Amino acid sequence: MTDASQPAAQIAPRRTPGPIARTMRRLPLTAKIGAAILLMWLITVVTVQLWPLADPLQMVGRRLQPPSMDHWLGTDALGRDVFSRTLHGAVWSIPIAIVVVACAVAIGSFLGAISGFFGGWWDTIIMRLVDVTVAFPPILLAMAVAAMLGPGLANASIAMVIVWWPIYARLMRAQVLEVREREHVEAAVAGGAPPLRVLRVHVLPLCWTPTLINATMDFGQVVLLAASLSFIGLGATPPSPEWGSMISEGATRFYNWWIAFGPGMAILTVVLATSFLGDGLRDLFDRRSQ
């Protein structure tokens, strides 16, 4: 087998780019910049432990020092290096946002697909549930759930999934309703395919584009809400270097502006990057928005 593939590779040295590479090439410049920033943050999340940074949890200098060559973003009230804490903060904020968006997409899409495909009572129950959930202002619902479950990142994440799933239920339902009426689905049903198989094989694969674009856009918003919950004391607890709780520390030490500066810039770059990338993807794929 290895021998056979070897010459084949030589005959066709120019590989056709995969779908991701092709998409990337067609994106506008701003979206490429957004993707690059997000990629840099992802690399940071994976490799930050290996970087020659000060320990984010230990006192490494004098307290409340303004930015200097030794401490690029200064030190906080406990003499910890703010630059190091900001980069380590990504390890908290970014994986949590990924998990929250993934769970919201999974739950919302599942319920939305059932609602749209089967209709009837399923549709009524699920959509009324959606209506009630979106009747709450998002941050108040998240605060109420997080407070009831008790502070902590896991509970804050559950609260955020509860806030976000209805968006994906509505998106998926709308897509399924549209695709369900197409001829190939009719053909599959006429051919005697069981309903779940029709949904899985003939409908769902055509329904993901709006969901994925929306998930990209929402990623930054989830980072923002997670930081907000931590800021008001319902998310990460000290001493973990989470961006929201770092800004919260900075807010109590008003004159030492540098404590909050790094984490705020970190959030801003992530949110801006996802907006750029999400906008670019939407312009490419979502014909209805044009």
Partner 1 sequence: MLAYILRRLITIPFLLLGVASVSFLLSQMTKGDPLAALVPERMMSNPEVVAAVKAEWGLDQPLPVRYVVYLGKLVQGDLGTSFTTRRPVATDIAERLPATLELVVAAMIIGTVMGLALGLLSARFRGSVIDSVARIFALIGSSLPIFWSGLILLYLLSVRISLVPGTGRLPPRVDPPPHTTGFYTVDALIAGDVGLFVQALTHLALPAFVLGWAVTGVITRLVRSSLIEGLSMDYARTARAKGAAERRVLVGHALPNAMIPLLTILGFTFAYLITGAVLTEAIFAWPGIGSYAVRAAASLDYPAIGGVTIVGSIAFLLANLLTDIAYAWANPRIKVH
Interaction site with partner 1 (CB under 8 A): 128, 131-133, 135-141, 143-151, 220, 224-225, 227-228, 231-234, 243-244, 247-248, 250-251, 254-255, 257, 260-261, 263-264, 267-268, 271-272, 275
CB-nearer residue toward partner 1: 113 or 156: 156
| CB 128 to partner 1: min, Å | 7
C-alpha triplet 106, 142, 226: angle, nearest 5°? 75
Structure-token pair, residue 157: 């994440």
CB-nearer residue toward partner 1: 176 or 271: 271
Give burial (CB, 10 Å; 0-12/13-18/19+) of 163: buried
| CB 37 to partner 1: min, Å | 12
| CB 66 to partner 1: min, Å | 13
CB-nearer residue toward partner 1: 240 or 245: 245
CB-nearer residue toward partner 1: 185 or 229: 229
Distance, in Å, from the CA atom of 281 to the CA atom of 276, rounded to the nearest integer, reads 9
Q: Max Cα separation, the chain?
A: 75
| CB 108 to partner 1: min, Å | 17
CB-nearer residue toward partner 1: 77 or 140: 140
* Contact yes or no for 283/26 (Cβ under 8 A): no
Distance, in Å, from the CA atom of 21 to the CA atom of 39, rounded to the nearest integer, reads 14
* Contact yes or no for 149/89 (Cβ under 8 A): no
User: Residue 162, CB half-sphere, CA atoms under 13 Å: how many?
Assistant: 21
If you search the block for the tokens 């509505």, which residue do you land on? 170
| CB 249 to partner 1: min, Å | 11
